[in-house]
Every structure is written in structure tokens, then in C-alpha cells.
Amino acid sequence: MFGQILRNVFLGRGKKQTTVSLDTVLDSADDHLKTFDMLIQPAPQSKPRTSFNPDIPPSEMSMMNLTVRQKLKLATKAVPLMYNMKKGSQMYDGKRRATRHEATAEFIADLEQRAYQMGVESIGYVKVPSYAIFQDKGLPCAYAIVFTVEMEKEPIETAPSFECQFEVVKGYKNMAAISKKLAQHLRRHGYDAYPGTALGGITDYPHLAELAGLGAIGYHGLLIGPGAGARVRINTIYTNISNLPTLEAQERENEHLWVRDFCAMCRKCIRKCPVEAIYDEPRPRGDGGMQTIEHATCRDYFAANFGCGGCWRSAL
């Protein structure tokens, strides 16, 4: 049973595998969007969420070859992760009607304090541009609270490894619990709030985090922030609060964009990637965004090597 969950949830479908793929699991988590009469639609140029299905047989997937001890260890984080993701997705019921749509500065300060107490590393706000909504998805609310959680340096330094993968799953578990709790808090105060899915998601998280001013996207495509660098995971809460302190509302610029110039000189992540999946420099995608990695090359190595993460190590 647990092997099945692991396979479905963390692996994707290999060539000969007959079980449902991670893409299917994540798409079904987005099915709740169908319960809404109206959703904010993606832009015509929006990209689909990239597939997690690798092109390697299940026998080569690292998660299929875990020891019993590793499986049990992973279960301590994977089970609460699945529980919180399910609870979070049930909050998308299409029936909610907000009674408030503006928040005081005190309310936002209190929200942030709660978030930091739960383990959030950084938090910011953005009006979601329609091109950041993945193709075939839709948004129940126009605004996003974007937050990061840090992953511990020691296990990440061992990437790719089981220890690193465990830390990744722990990060996902923390994010799923935090986004659900903060969304419940917002709802108790009359606002609309929908926790972003920890695994997967309906919007491009690094892009939203950059727009929220939490950091800048590096040459490896990952958000690099002033605290833990790229060693963070990102999640969102979609809300109807229309006066959030976005960078735009504060008439501020993202002060981290110098990172891009630094990346152009550094290129350590490009050299560190074991399969040369990171492009020499980001390639314009034709929609204002940039593509930084060869998805399929990264994904196959990722599936065979505990979700890799080697590109984090360039910045440690």
C-alpha cells in the first residue's frame, strides 16, 4: 500500500508501469477547480505545468528501490503531507462567499507573525498575472500570498541522496500544513482563501515569488532569496484580499534582481549539473518568461536519483 502511494506520489509513470502517474494524481488534486462557476483564466500564452513522468523504467527509479527502513522514515513525512494536501484541496468547494475583501495593516502584521511562528522563512504578496496560471487551470482569487520554507543545509549538501529527498518531503509536508492553517485563519476572518497545492500547483511558484519580491530566479530556474538562497520551497495561498502590501502597492522594486547579473558571471550551477540539463543562459520562451532547464533531461536524472537537487549545492 505505502509502496503504491510512494510510487504514485513521488515517482511518476515509467515506460512499463501500469499504476497511475504522479501527473494524474496531481491533476486529480486540481479537479476541485471544476466546482467553481467562475475562475480567473490563464493567458493564451500560459505554459502547461511540466510533466513529472520520466522516460525511464520503474526499476531504475530510486524511489522504487528504497529499503524498508527508508520507506518507514519517509512515511513519517509523506503521510502527513498527503493528509494536509487532501484537506487543503477540500477547501476548494466553489461555494465559499467572502464577507470581507480588505485587511488592516495590523491584520497583515499578525498574519506574518503567525506564519513565521509556523516556520515560514519569507513571505510576500502579488496580484497573480494570468500568464503565471498554468494552461488548463484557473484561479479562484486574484491575489496570492507567497511564502517560502527553508530546507536544512546539511542534508541538502548531500544531494542527490535519500537524506536530501527526505528533507524535500519534509519541506513539502511543512508547506502543506502551513498553507492550510493560514488559509483557515483567513477564512475565520471572512476572507476567501485557498491553500496552493504543495506538490504540483496551478501557478508558477518561483515566478510568483520573484514578483512578490522574495528573491530572483537564478540561471538554474530556482528562486534565490537573501536568507537561505535557493535552498527553499515555495507555496501560495490564493485570496481575495485586494489591498495586500504587494511591491506595486508599496511602489517598490524587487531589490534582488541583481542576482541575474551575478548568475551570468557565476554559472556554477551549470557546471555542477551532472547531466548538463541547465542551459548556458536562460532562453526566452516567447511569453515574457525564460526557460532555464531541459525539462526531460533533468526529470529522468531526478527520477533515478532521489529528486536530485544538485543545482542547490552550487550555492551552498
Q: In the bound complex, what is the minimum distance in angstroms from residue 298's beta carbon to ligand SF4?
A: 3
Positions 59 through 118 that interact with ligand B12 (CB under 6 A): none
Any residues with CB less than 8 A from the CB of 170 and at least 6 apart, and which?
Answer: 77, 151
Binding partner of residue 232 among ligand SF4, ligand B12, none, CB under 5 to 8 Å per kind? ligand B12
Give the burial string for 188-226 (b: 16+ CB within 10 Å, else e): eeebbbbbbbbbbbbbbbbbbbbbbbbbbbbbbbbbbbe
In the bound complex, what is the minimum distance in angstroms from residue 100's beta carbon to ligand B12? 28
Q: Which position among 156, 233, 241, 259 is part of the footprint of ligand B12 (CB under 6 A)?
A: 233
Residue for grid cell 513519517: 76
Cα separation, 301 vs 129, in Å, equals: 32
Count of beta carbons in the 10 Å neighbourhood of residue 66: 18
Q: Which does 201 bind (CB under 5 to 8 A by kind): ligand SF4, ligand B12, none?
A: ligand B12
Using the rule CB under 6 A, which residue among 201, 212, 214, 239 binds ligand B12? 201
| Shortest distance (Å) from residue 190 CB to ligand SF4 | 41
Question: How far is 267 from 273, CA to CA, in rounded Å?
Answer: 10
- With the C-alpha atoms ordered 7, 13, 16, 17, is the resulting torsion angle positive or negative? positive
Asked if 272 is part of the footprint of ligand B12 (rule: CB under 6 A), the reply reads no
226 close to 210: Cβ distance less than 8 angstroms: no
Does residue number 161 form part of the binding site for ligand B12 (CB under 6 A)? Answer: no
Of these partners, ligand B12, ligand SF4, none, which one is at the site of residue 88 (CB under 5 to 8 Å by kind)? none
Residue written as grid cell 526557460 = 291
Only one of the segments 16-24, 73-81, 245-253, 301-309 lies at the binding site for ligand B12 (rule: CB under 6 A); that segment is 301-309
CB of 309 to ligand SF4, least distance (A): 5
Would you say 282 or 309 has its CB closer to ligand SF4?
309
* 282: partner contacted, choices ligand B12, ligand SF4, none (Cβ within 5-8 A by kind): ligand B12
Please report the beta strands in the chain, taking only residues with DSSP state E, as ranges in sequence order.
120-127, 143-150, 193-195, 216-217, 223-224, 232-239, 278-284, 290-293
| Shortest CB 48 distance to ligand B12, Å | 7
Written as nine digits, the cell of 79 is 503521510
DSSP state for residue 40 in the 8-state scheme:
B
| Under rule CB under 6 A, residue 213 binds ligand B12 | no
d(CA 129, CA 131) in angstroms, rounded, equals: 5
Residue 282 contacts ligand B12 per CB under 6 A: yes
Residue 180 binds to ligand B12 (criterion: CB under 6 A): no
**DSSP character at residue 94:** S
Helix/strand/coil for 58: helix
Candidates 232, 241, 259, 270; binder of ligand B12 (CB under 6 A) is 232
Chain contacts with ligand SF4 (rule: CB under 6 A):
273, 275, 277-278, 293, 298, 301-302, 308-311
What's 93's DSSP letter?
-
Q: Which of 124, 140, 206, 213 binds ligand B12 (CB under 6 A)?
A: 206
Is 299 a binder of ligand B12 (CB under 6 A)? yes
Residue 264: CB minimum distance to ligand B12, A: 10
- Output the smallest distance, CB 38 to ligand B12, in A: 22
